[in-house]
Amino acid sequence: MVLLPFFLLAGVLSFPFAMLAGRIQRHKRQRNKQNLEVQMSAQGRVMGWPDFLKALNETRGTAIVERYSLKGPVHLWWTSDNVYEVCPHPTVDWMALHDESYGPFAAWCRERYTGPDAGTALLVSAAPPTEGRSLYSRFESCTGPERWIEIVPPELVRKAASWR
């Protein structure tokens, strides 16, 4: 009973702090995404949204959805390869991606496709919000012949393995 006012005060004071921390984290994520897009643009590795949709509809490659967590950030990449044909490692669904046996696939995908220095995949420029959501719904429902794969960056796989 005696501590109740202190807990209420702590709860009230923590709200602005949590809001500020969330805003800082969002700003940092946005800045990192912009830096990645500038770096990829300098290397000629950026694909416009209309070109991506055209390639996706023509099923002439694979969309790579690089997801850092369920909340994001998410980077969308495009390669003209059929990743499922050329991949030397087994592919798994997103929930199993944090397993350490997934590590070799994550490292291979980073080296070959999504690595900022040596990768070959094109970073897809930002989509209009409604189109991005509808695209992900299309992937999840598998209503078309398009190929896509969802990956977790290898540094997160190593981090998850070290927690065990």
**31 shares its domain with 70:** no
Which has more pLDDT, 9 or 136? 9
Which has more pLDDT, 103 or 88? 88
pLDDT at 163 over 50: no
* pLDDT category of residue 88 using cuts at 50, 70 and 90: confident
**36 shares its domain with 63:** no
**118 shares its domain with 79:** yes
- Residues 139-160 pLDDT 10s: 666 555 568 888 877 776 655 5
Average pLDDT of the residues in 77-85: 89
**55 shares its domain with 37:** no
pLDDT at 79 over 90: yes
Q: Are 128 and 120 in contact (CB under 8 A)?
A: no
**30 shares its domain with 52:** no
Residue position matching structure tokens 């190593």: 158
**18 shares its domain with 57:** no
**27 shares its domain with 72:** no
Angular region, 72: left φ>0, alpha ψ -120 to 50, beta rest: left
**101 shares its domain with 119:** yes
**Per-residue pLDDT at 46:** 93
Cα-Cα-Cα-Cα dihedral of 93, 95, 99, 103, to 10°?
A: 50
Which has more pLDDT, 47 or 7? 47
Domain that holds residue 139: 44-163
**74 shares its domain with 60:** yes
Interatomic CA distance for residues 2 and 10, integer angstroms? 14
Which has more pLDDT, 3 or 103? 3
- Residues 107-130 pLDDT 10s: 888 899 998 888 899 999 877 767
Phi, psi values for residue 137, rounded to 5°: -65, -40
pLDDT at 84 over 50: yes
**70 shares its domain with 89:** yes
Burial of 125 (0-12, 13-18, 19+ CB in 10 A): middle
**91 shares its domain with 155:** yes
**11 shares its domain with 48:** no
Q: How many domains does the chain have?
A: 2
